[in-house]
Chain A
Amino acid sequence: MKFAANEMQHVELELTRRELLGRTGTGLGAAALAALLGDTAFAQQAPASLGQPGLRGLPHFAPKAKRVIYLTQSGAPSQVDLYDHKPHLQEFKGQDLPESVRMGQRLTTMTATQKLSIQPSRFKFAPHGKSGTYVSELLPHIGSIVDDICLVRSMHTESINHAPGMCLFLSGGEQPGRPSTGAWVSYGLGSLNQDLPAFVVMLSRDRHGTCGQLLFDYYWGSGFVPSKYQGVKFRAGGDPVLYLTNPPGISPQVRRGMLDDIAKLNRMKQAAVGDPEIGTRIAQYEMAYRMQTSVPELTDISKEPSAVLEMYGPDVHKPGSYARNCLMARRLAERGVRFTQLFHVGWDTHGNLMREITMQCEDTDRPSAALVKDLKQRGMLDDTLVVWAGEFGRTVYSQGVIDDPKAGRDHHPRCYSIWMAGGGVNPGTVYGETDDYSYNVSKDPVHIHDLQATVLHLLGVDHKRLTYRFQGRDYRLTDVSGEVVRGVLA
């Protein structure tokens, strides 16, 4: 029968009728149509080695980065104490933030009724590397890689609360419901491997669990694009992927036999009813089986040389730690995972700032730097983009009484610092400036949408042309704005 001949294309392309139903508009219809019409010319173009194809015509231009690793610092790290060096701030210590600086910025209900007294950082800053970039003493390891990173001091956003802020940072909109960056990337560019998901997420928490920003699954959700593009969360305990392990009593041999029988019967069914979706299903059951082997291999770090483990620090031996996840991120990148997103919570330092931020840095500084070094020593940094960022920054004024060890800093959207490394980013540079108070951006502002446009650009994607039609509108990651930040490109 005719469809039997076409079966393999459908398997390779994994474009299904049903999926088409969800995809009106947008250029991808071309690929789908080609597949449906048995356009073998196109089908042969699709690299057979890929688990999941991207859209036809993507990337739009030659990419600098093949894959991305987000080191998401959830809870909003304080730029004042980590990256945004303000030596003159001491002069304003204890003074009220001038209204001319605040300019009516709305405040959360946590500090809306208190005095806004300037609290300079109580941590020392020093220049590092050839570039002489100033970084806080809290970050000695990141200090040691400043010549490999581009520090952006002029990030700004709109939200003053975590969930909307994180949502905007990752999906381009404050309300849940849009695809996360990783979902856009795997939707647009497809997978680089056949045995693992295109988009993997790993979570870790602060040491004492004093403050936990909840991490909602819509942060890595697919929004309105099909759910197969959503991030797959690898868990620290139990199965790394839900339902990965065979049930007790089902040996790999028994399972293999079951899968062969399912495939045999499904092929008979396909011959009888002609639904090409059945071919896809057969392929997905096979992929499930491969994941059962590839995921345990991935998570087994026993063959990592001790020198490498040493780089990431002692926490690397604890599954679910940030250090372990950084190592895992490298292993995922090696295995062709397109988009890896780590989340580490605990940066929401409303109180006890001195103690909490110190612990946060002890947990994340060394592994973050180790990942960049490790990628570099393997020659992978050139085509792997690493992004270290939170959802917004923190206020220069104290939440609570000044110099009180119990005091902290409130949420601040108008400026904060992030960094990027590898994948076509200009190393050893600082981009953007803030005013004397680390309150407003004074030079080269970078909005969330600009960052998103830049990340897509490095992946060879024009952010204005990666769209998906939903509820009558062509949505894109960058909503209706976003400019590629040329100044950070190598």
Chain B
Amino acid sequence: MRAQAGVGLAICVTACAGLLAGAQLPKSQSRLAPLVRFSRDIQPILAEKCFRCHGPDQKTRMAGLRLDTEYGAFAALASGGKVFAPGSPAHSKAYQRMVAPNAALRMPPPGSDLTVTSAQLKVVKQWIGQGAKWERHWSLITPVSPPVPAVKLKRWPVNPIDNFILARLEGERLAASPGAARETLLRRVSLDLTGIPPTLAEIDGFLADRIPGAFERVVDRLLASPRFGERMVWDWLEAARYSDTNGYQEDRTRPMWPWRDWAVKAINANMPFDQFTVEQIAGDLLPGATLDQRIATGFNRNHMLNGEGGRIPEESRVEYVMDRVDTTTTVWLGLTMGCARCHDHKYDPFTQRDYYQLYAYFNNVNETGSVDRNGSANPVVELPTAEQAARLADLRAKVEELSTTASGLKEGSPERSEAQKRFDAAKKEVESLNNSVTLAMVMEDRKEPRQAHILIRGTYEKPGDKVESGVPAALAPLPPGSPSNRLALAHWLTSPANSLTARVAVNRYWQMLFGTGLVLTTEDFGIQGEKPSHPDLLDWLATDFVRSKWDVKRLVKLIVTSATYRQSSVATAKMLELDPANRLLSRGPRYRLPAFMLRDQALAVAGLLVEKLGGPPVKPYQPEGVWEDFSYGKITYTQDHGESLYRRSLYTFWRRSVAPTGMFDASPRRVCSMRQTITNTPLQSLTLLNDITFVEAARVMAERVMKEAGWSPEERIGYGFQLAAGRRPRPDELRVLVEAFQRAKEQFGRDAGAVGQLLSVGEKPRDQKLSATDLAAYATVMSIILNLDEVLCKE
């Protein structure tokens, strides 16, 4: 069995990337199935080995032959025979060229650095022999709700998700895992939905609640918490390349946080995903657009802005328009449209014209390409505070009044000139107040649309054919009579006929909860992306999501209340062998928390976290000189004090050129990013052990356990452990920690200076009533706890 797996995988490795993606899938998937399926087995080979010259890009197409369309693949040839002749490898000219004994005739040609392996040739031959059935790429076919499969273990499924997962596991002769311990499950779901671990009262409450539906009630509580939006928005900010600065040379500050707050509010209000889409793509074009709807369109103004001296503004403007196309198509459609900037797409059925038709939608923004509005770029909306608004209204009334007064006075008279002076002063005050008002960038089109062109090789100064707005021909068409504006595009994105948006969206939520999407390549649903691990489940979720009127909270609840999500994440040796990456979900998810959550968790368990929704970004601790080093002293980091040190990481000021230092593995926020790899490096260990944030949290957490728990080290340490890990320590674990405490106490007992130093880390004053030596020793133990793998992970 084992040896066989090795062989299967070896073929897979040398075979092709499409199959290799299956390397993480269990072995039976990688074994060559008796029935060859086009989209799974053949299309990846053609894409990888043939499309470069025989694919969608007509400029590089050789001999007029294309293998990316059904028509091209089965065309009859003038020389007799067909490209692929169903049932007959001998009459399939394409296949014959792949196996040609004469190296000069063999395809792919020498010099292409491509070879079709013998294993692949065998599969192609089998496919032809089996009738060469053609399939469109799966993600371009509108999903239909598949039947929910039957399972043997009927008592396991909680909802249909589980039928899909279990049916597959049963087919692989794997079992689902038992449910996770209640404490583990509570911590998992609390972190997933709010980014904050459960309090001890919440743990006790859940453990004590033996009435059916206890877990559902927990989920409802978490979904209703404003923390839900603060947690869920993080991934959206990364996708939207949100930042508090422009990037590039000057990297000036710009206030896009009103857009961030809009997104948090919309998620908390459970705004349906279709509306969430329409408002961000085209809120400004909605009839009677509200201020909020205009702020929402900031989504497509979150790109970088280049204010470099000597920069040609039009070059920048074109870059911004392209960024919008790339971001929008990646986030909603999971497509790599950016590949078609310079030429037709090499793998997916998109032409360069398709790209510039989408470009035309975003090309009419009333912008110049320069940084022309206080560090931001027009168009913007003015967002005065209530106080500023009132003052402005007063001033404007005054200006009006003075103007009337002045015009009623005789020209040249001293009265007139006095009134004029007062008028000027008031006007000046209006201006200066206006300058201090927050300006959020938004989408707003010009009256006169710009003519869009195909840009030759994607170069701004080389316009080719004119194009009008439109959607790619390979996707669902626009409804007839659609206007030529972003609103039409937004509605098209969320129309039920669109084969991608709902799939891409549910996959993104799945990724947020399980760490990996059903389609691993969250950002690429094209031919070179990975095939879904559970295609029917993906389609079931997507269609169900649309049927529910894009109800996000309902979708999230469905997923987290499934038996699949509730499984224990303990991996047995068998699972590690058969399902190493847990793509089959034979166990619950277990992986390191994102950096932002690690910080929030530490603040929360220390009792330091200050929860306040929204507002301008804050500047918590950061090692000295990071901004100054980068900017040669031009940009200084002025750290905040007090509450601002302890806000959620979501509100930490994000400088595009140097991200906050502790945020390892976060998206750099330059371009759209849908998936971060989770790495494990010594620099992270240094951060978690030595960063003021974490040391102060350990110190304050120590005070907390000394005050809130009993008197013995066992009680206090057990309490701290439970705060962070969400469960009581086992006796052997507790023994290690208590010994660590005794040892640290002894060491600190000999070194009062060290005690004082450690207890002065961070700005929160220490509680002088507590024994300093004990406090330092407990702080050490709390730091150990905050660095435990279990605490760093969701499990």
A18 within 8 A of B: yes
Q: How far is the CA of A214 from the CA of B787 in the complex (A)?
A: 35
A307 within 8 A of B: no
Is the CB–CB distance between A249 and B9 below 8 Å?
Answer: no
> Contacting B5 at CB < 8 Å: which of A29, A37, A110?
A37
Is the CB–CB distance between A24 and B743 below 8 Å?
Answer: no
Set of chain B residues within 8 Å of A469, measured between Cβ atoms:
17, 528
A215 within 8 A of B: yes
Q: How far is the CA of A257 from the CA of B736 in the complex (A)?
A: 11
Set of chain A residues within 8 Å of B748, measured between Cβ atoms:
254
Chain A, interface size: which category? 35 or more
CB-contacts of A261-298 with B (<8 A):
261-262, 264-266, 268-270, 272-278, 280-281, 284-285, 287-288, 291-292
Set of chain A residues within 8 Å of B681, measured between Cβ atoms:
227-228, 284
Is the CB–CB distance between B17 and A24 below 8 Å?
Answer: yes
CB-CB under 8 A for A251 and B348, given A163-B308, A175-B671? no
> Contacting A17 at CB < 8 Å: which of B572, B580, B761?
B580
Q: Give, as a whole number of angstroms, the nearest-CB distance from B43 to chain A.
A: 13
Set of chain A residues within 8 Å of B761, measured between Cβ atoms:
247-249
Chain B, interface size: which category? 35 or more
Set of chain A residues within 8 Å of B308, measured between Cβ atoms:
161-163
> Contacting A257 at CB < 8 Å: which of B9, B633, B665, B740?
B740
> Contacting B682 at CB < 8 Å: which of A218, A250, A291?
A291
CB-CB under 8 A for A258 and B789, given A238-B625, A242-B683, A247-B758? no
Q: How far is the CA of A312 from the CA of B545 in the complex (A)?
A: 66
CB-contacts of A1-58 with B (<8 A):
1-3, 14, 16-22, 24-27, 29-30, 32-33, 36-39
Q: How far is the CA of A278 from the CA of B570 in the complex (A)?
A: 12
Is the CB–CB distance between A238 and B312 below 8 Å?
Answer: no
CB-CB under 8 A for A281 and B690, given A217-B657, A269-B789? no
B411 within 8 A of A: no
B689 within 8 A of A: yes
Of B80-88, B150-158, B496-504, B749-757, the one with at least 4 CB within 8 A of chain A: B749-757
Q: How far is the CA of A358 from the CA of B461 in the complex (A)?
A: 37
Give A467's nearest chain B residue, CB to CB: B17
User: 0/1 per residue, B596-636, Cβ < 8 Å to A?
Assistant: 00000000000000000000000000011110011111100
Set of chain B residues within 8 Å of A33, measured between Cβ atoms:
9, 13, 23
B190 within 8 A of A: no
B516 within 8 A of A: yes
CB-CB under 8 A for A473 and B339, given A226-B679, A247-B758, A249-B761? yes
CB-contacts of B639-692 with A (<8 A):
657-659, 661, 664-665, 668, 670-671, 675, 677-687, 689-692
Q: How far is the CA of A241 from the CA of B661 in the complex (A)?
A: 11
B795 within 8 A of A: yes
Set of chain B residues within 8 Å of A305, measured between Cβ atoms:
none
Is the CB–CB distance between B737 and A161 below 8 Å?
Answer: no
Q: Give, as a whole number of angstroms, the nearest-CB distance from B315 to chain A.
A: 9
Is the CB–CB distance between A161 and B251 below 8 Å?
Answer: no
Is the CB–CB distance between A258 and B623 below 8 Å?
Answer: no
Q: Give, as a whole number of angstroms, the nearest-CB distance from B118 to chain A.
A: 17
CB-CB under 8 A for A37 and B577, given A18-B678, A258-B780? yes
Is the CB–CB distance between B632 and A209 below 8 Å?
Answer: yes
Q: Give, as a whole number of angstroms, the nearest-CB distance from A58 to chain B.
A: 15
Q: How far is the CA of A278 from the CA of B788 in the complex (A)?
A: 10
> Contacting B336 at CB < 8 Å: which of A244, A472, A474?
A472
Q: Give, as a whole number of angstroms, the nearest-CB distance from A75 to chain B.
A: 12
B6 within 8 A of A: yes
Is the CB–CB distance between A258 and B783 below 8 Å?
Answer: yes
Is the CB–CB distance between B249 and A162 below 8 Å?
Answer: yes
Is the CB–CB distance between A216 and B657 below 8 Å?
Answer: yes
Set of chain A residues within 8 Å of B23, measured between Cβ atoms:
20, 29, 32-33
Set of chain B residues within 8 Å of A25, measured between Cβ atoms:
17, 20-21
Is the CB–CB distance between B686 and A243 below 8 Å?
Answer: yes
A205 within 8 A of B: yes
A376 within 8 A of B: no
CB-CB under 8 A for A249 and B310, given A203-B629, A212-B631, A273-B795? no
Set of chain A residues within 8 Å of B251, measured between Cβ atoms:
214
In the assembled complex, 25 residue pairs joining A and B whose CB atoms fall closer than 8 Å, in A order, are: A19-B679, A24-B17, A29-B23, A36-B580, A109-B309, A110-B310, A162-B308, A214-B251, A218-B668, A244-B690, A248-B760, A251-B751, A254-B748, A257-B747, A261-B739, A268-B733, A269-B789, A277-B592, A281-B792, A284-B685, A287-B685, A288-B686, A471-B524, A472-B347, A472-B527
Residues of B within 8 A of A (CB): 5-6, 9, 13, 17, 20-21, 23-24, 113, 248-249, 251, 306, 308-312, 330, 336, 338-339, 346-348, 461, 515-516, 520-521, 523-524, 526-530, 569-573, 575-577, 580-582, 590-592, 623-626, 629-634, 657-659, 661, 664-665, 668, 670-671, 675, 677-687, 689-692, 695, 732-733, 736-737, 739-740, 743-744, 747-748, 751, 753-761, 776, 780, 783-784, 787-790, 792-793, 795
Q: A3-B573, A212-B631, A410-B310 are in contact. List 13 more A-B contacts (CB 8 A).
A: A20-B24, A176-B668, A215-B630, A232-B683, A246-B690, A250-B754, A268-B733, A269-B788, A273-B795, A274-B575, A465-B113, A471-B521, A472-B521
